[in-house]
Amino acid sequence: MKNIIPPLLKSEPLYGGSGNTERYFEISGYWNDSREPFRNYIVTDKDYFNVYNDFGFTEEDIFYFGMTEEYLIAEIEFGEDPELEFTITNYKEIL
């Protein structure tokens, strides 16, 4: 008897959501230890990488996972956070 494995449907992603539910942001700021600035680092509000994202990002393109817009706003208002190795000074959503 043959072992039949049904093919994946195109609507069933291997990881993450459908590709249109996550949000991506570019953040700028500085490293807390050296005060060296950084710009345009990409973060996402998801805690995982979605291979079906709409921007063609690879996992290596993402600097940090799990940063919602509310979190980014709070970090900017809070200033230097001892829990992070960096301080965020501004952000913008990638549309």
Which two tokens mark 93?
Answer: 């959503």
Cβ-in-10-Å burial (0-12, 13-18, 19+) of 50 comes to buried
pLDDT tens for each residue of the chain, 95 residues long: 444 433 433 333 333 334 457 899 999 999 999 999 999 999 999 988 888 888 889 999 999 999 999 999 999 999 998 889 999 999 999 97
Domain assignments of the chain as residue spans, ordered by start: 24-94
The β-bridge partners of 42 are 26, 62
